[in-house]
Structure 1
Amino acid sequence: MKLATINDGTRDGQLAVVSRDLKTAHLADGIAPTMQAALDDWSFIAPQLNELSQQLNGGRARRSFDFDPAACMAPLPRAYQWADGSAYVNHVELVRKARGAEMPESFWEDPLMYQGGSDDFIGPTGDIVLAHEEWGIDFEAEVAVVTGDVAMGSTADEAHQQIRLVMLVNDVSLRNLIPPELAKGFGFLQSKPASSFSPVAVTPDELGDAWKGGKVHLPLRSTWNGKLVGHPHAGVDMVFNFPQLIAHLCKTRNARAGSIVGSGTVSNKDASRGYSCIAEKRCLEMIADGVASTPFMLFGDTIKIEMLDGAGKSIFGAIEQKVVQAEAKRSR
């Protein structure tokens, strides 16, 4: 089934079931008020949501309405936890190679992961509001999963059983703030503003054969200012699958229902498939020419992130955003 959160003016929005073709939706107010409420009691709530989904897809839902991604908040407008991995080690290797640094062999065996801010996510069509272009504004196209309760010390197989939903992410990065921040030795903070998510989150079974081995086996498309710049395959070159990433997160602590775990920038060794973030393109330029020529995003730039099924139909709906200067937005 496909789920979304409709913006009703409240902090957490209203849970809705969305049709498979993303054309209609139905509020789940008689079942669960919010996405988090559904996740908190998933074994009881999910079958009821699934029944509503079947009615909606069969044309039998009595209070359906046209689905509008612009009316959506992030599927989880705020979450108890947002932990982003770096499962596509090719991306990490390129970044280090571009600056002449060796990559530790342990990176192929032990995932990289950081914990981002989860109290304020952006909806799928919300503006990326920032104060300065000089910060080095970059998009990062990723896949993420939402978990149920995962106990500390869970194995990857155990973690796999707790994957509830799959969705897309734009993990915005401010590249020129990252080096001085990491040099402090305490990780990302100001260089990682609010992330945005696809209009719809789907249960893994909705992906059919594309969900196997704890990975999504489909290309992820990034369109920057109307130009397709990347369509790397999310199931290729993913060194750590989602169950492994969740198990890594839970080595020393529990992850509670509603935790979001990201894949990191989707990246393939085959450079002909393009890129899911500008930094990777710049790294390839540095390696080839000694200088990065592709600029980061500017105010007014747009980014669209989407994943299509084998028939060319959108699965999650699209993240479609514009970069807007903070002062200009406040003055309207």
Structure 2
Amino acid sequence: MKLATCQNHTRDGQLMVVSRDLSRAVAVPHIAATLQQALDNWAQAEPQLQQVYIALNQGEAASAIAFDAARCLSPLPRAYQWADGSAYLNHVELVRRARGAEVPDSFYHDPLMYQGGSDAFLPPCAPIPLRDEAWGLDFEGEVAVVTGDVPLGADAAACASHIRLLLLVNDVTLRNLIPGELAKGFGFFQSKPATAFSPVAVTPDELGDAWQDGKVHLPLLVDYNGACYGKPNAGVGMQFSFPQLVAHVARTRELVAGSIVGSGTVSNHDRSVGSCCLAEQRMIEIIDTGAAITPFMKVGDTVRIEMKDAAGLSIFGAIAQTVVKHD
């Protein structure tokens, strides 16, 4: 099943069921006005949404309209929780190597994670506002899951059953603000502005055999300024699966329905597949030559993040954003 949130006169938008080929959509206010409402009442809402989805794919939804990703908000325009991990240790290893530091052993068995701002997410086709190019704007292509209610202390096996949806992420980062913030010993804040998510969120069964062991075994496609920048496989090199990441969050707290947990920047050891962020390429340049050459994003730059199935069809729709000056 595929779900999206269309812009309307409300802050949380209107829930839409979207056809598998992303061509048609239908509003379902009789089931749930918003995605959050559906997640809060998933046991009752999910079978009804599935019936609409089947009818839509069979061409039997009379009220269906053309689906327009440009009119979408992020599937959850705001969320109760946005926790982002760093499950691809190649990314971590490159960053540490570039500054001559070893990766602590704990990183291989205890996930890195930070708590991001979740009060307002960027729409998937909305501009990325930038006040100062000196802040070092970067994109980060990721995958994330949306959970139902997760009990305190749930282990990974239990957490797997609480994963409701998957979606793509552009975890926008201001790289040059990070060192000063981390030096304070209190984590990210100003260096992590609003995040954007894919137009469509999908249930795990939509991925078929690509959803295995709590990972998505498909390339994440990143285009930068109209050219292919990276296509690493999201199922390769992921040290911690999504159930493990969710269990990490649940170790000391409950998660409420609508919580989002991210994978961190998708990254493979194979350099030929490129990267999902500019910082990773900069780290490779530092390791190889002693200096970073690749600049960070500037006003007018574009990024597109997408994932396609074996037939070449877009699964989640695309995050497609342009950097704009914010005064």
TM-score category of the 2 structures, normalised to the smaller one: over 0.9
The corresponding residue for 1:230 is 230
Letter in 2 for 1:237: G
Aligned counterparts of 2:10 and 2:212: Cα–Cα separation in 1: 36
Long gaps (5+) in structure 1: 328-332
1:94 aligns with 94
Give 1:133's aligned residue.
Answer: 133
Counterparts of 1:290 and 1:251, CA distance in 2: 40
Residue 239 of structure 1 deviates from its aligned partner by 0.4
4+ residue segments displaced more than 6 Å: none
Superposed CA deviations along residues 31-50 of structure 1, whole A, max 9, x for unmatched, are: 10000000001010000000
> What is the identity, as a one-letter code, of the residue corresponding to 2:128?
I
Secondary structure of the residue aligned to 1:247 is: helix
Secondary structure at the counterpart of residue 316 of structure 1 = coil
Quote the offset at 1:102 in angstroms. 1.1
The residue aligned with 1:330 is: none
Match of 2:258 in 1: 258
Aligned partners of 1:323 and 1:144: how far apart in 2? Answer: 23
Aligned to 1:153, the other structure's residue is in SS state coil
Give me the TM-score of the superposition, normalised by structure 2.
1.00
* Map of 2:269 onto structure 1: 269
C-alpha distance in 2, partners of 1:271/1:29? 47
Correspondence 1:132-281 to 2 at 5 A: 132-281=132-281
Partner Cα distance (1:47, 1:149) in 2: 18
Structure 1 residue 289, shift from structure 2 partner: 0.2
Shift of 1:120: 0.4
CA distance in 2: counterparts of 1:93 and 1:150, whole angstroms: 31
Deviation of residue 130 (structure 1)?
Answer: 1.5
- Amino acid paired to 1:14: Q
Amino acid at match of 2:32: A
For each residue in 1:219-261, what CA deviation from the matched residue of structure 2 results, as whole angstroms up to 9, or x when unmatched?
0011000010100000000000000000000101101100000
Please give the alpha-carbon distance, in whole angstroms, between the structure 2 residues aligned to 1:216 and 1:235.
5
Instruction: Please give the alpha-carbon distance, in whole angstroms, between the structure 2 residues aligned to 1:119 and 1:308.
Output: 29
Residue 190 of structure 2: SS of its match in structure 1? coil
Match of 1:36 in 2: 36
CA deviation string 1:141-191 (max 9, x = no partner): 000000000011101000000000000000000000000000000000000
Residues 290-305 of structure 1 aligned to structure 2 (within 5 Å): 290-305=290-305
Whole-Å separation in 1 of the counterparts to 2:221 and 2:36: 28
Q: SS in structure 2 opposite 1:293?
A: coil
Q: Following TM superposition, by how much is the alpha carbon of 1:30 offset from its aligned partner in structure 2, in angstroms?
A: 1.3
Q: Shift in Å at residue 194 of structure 1? A: 0.2
SS at match of 2:168: strand
- Quick one: distance in 2 between partners of 1:28 and 1:219? 32
Q: What's the offset of the Cα at 1:53?
A: 0.2
Distance 1:85 1:32 in 2: 30
How far apart in 1 are the matches of 2:294 and 2:67?
37
**CA RMSD, aligned part only?**
0.4
**Matches for 1:37-116 after TM superposition, within 5 Å:** 37-116=37-116
Alignment-derived partner of residue 25 in structure 2: 25
| Matched AA of 2:275 | Y
What SS does the corresponding residue of 1:292 show, helix, strand or coil?
Answer: coil
CA distance in 2, matches of 1:30, 1:42: 14
Matched residue SS, 1:187: coil
CA deviation digits over 1:92-139, x for unaligned, max 9?
Answer: 010010011111011000000000000000111011012011000000
Post-superposition shift, 1:28? 1.1
Task: Return the alpha-carbon distance in structure 2 between the equivalents of residues 31 and 251 of structure 1.
Answer: 33
- In structure 2, the residue matched to 1:6 is 6
Structure 1 residue 9, shift from structure 2 partner:
2.3
Residue number in structure 1 paired with 2:324 = 324
- 1: CA distance between counterparts of 2:245 and 2:82? 12
Shift in Å, 1:24: 0.3
Which amino acid is the alignment partner of residue 96 of structure 2? R
The amino acid of 1:269's aligned partner reads H
